[in-house]
Amino acid sequence: MNAMVETDIRVRGAVETRSERPKLSVKDFKGRVDPDWCPGCGDFGVLAALKQAIADLGLHPHEVMTISGIGCSSNLPGYINAYGMHTLHGRALAVATGAQLANHELKIIATGGDGDGFGIGGNHFLHTMRRNVDLTYIVMDNQIYGLTTGQVSPTSIKGMQTKSTPFGSVENPINPIPLAIAAGATYVARGFTGQQKHLVELIKGGIQHKGFALIDVFSPCVTYNHENSHEFFKQRTQKLEDIGHDPTSFQAAMEKAYMWGDVIPIGLFWKRSDLPALDELEPVLAEGGSLAHRPLGVSPQAAKALISELM
DSSP assignments along 48-59, one per residue: HHHHHHHHHTT-
The residue extents of the domains of the chain are 24-310
What b/e readout covers 186-202, taking b as 16+ CB neighbours within 10 angstroms?
A: bbbbbbbbbbeebbbbb
> Taking the model in full, what pTM does it have?
0.90
pLDDT tens digits, residue range 229-238? 999 999 999 9
pLDDT tens digits, residue range 271-306? 999 999 999 998 888 777 788 888 878 898 998 998
Residues 6+ apart with CB under 8 A from 62: 11, 82, 83
Residues 6+ apart with CB under 8 A from 2: none
Determine phi and psi for 300, rounding to 5 degrees: -55, -35
pLDDT tens digits, residue range 177-212? 999 999 999 999 999 999 999 999 999 999 999 999
| CATH code of domain 24-310 | 3.40.50.970
DSSP assignments along 252-269, one per residue: HHHHHHT--SS-EEEEEE
Sign of CA dihedral 277, 278, 280, 285: negative
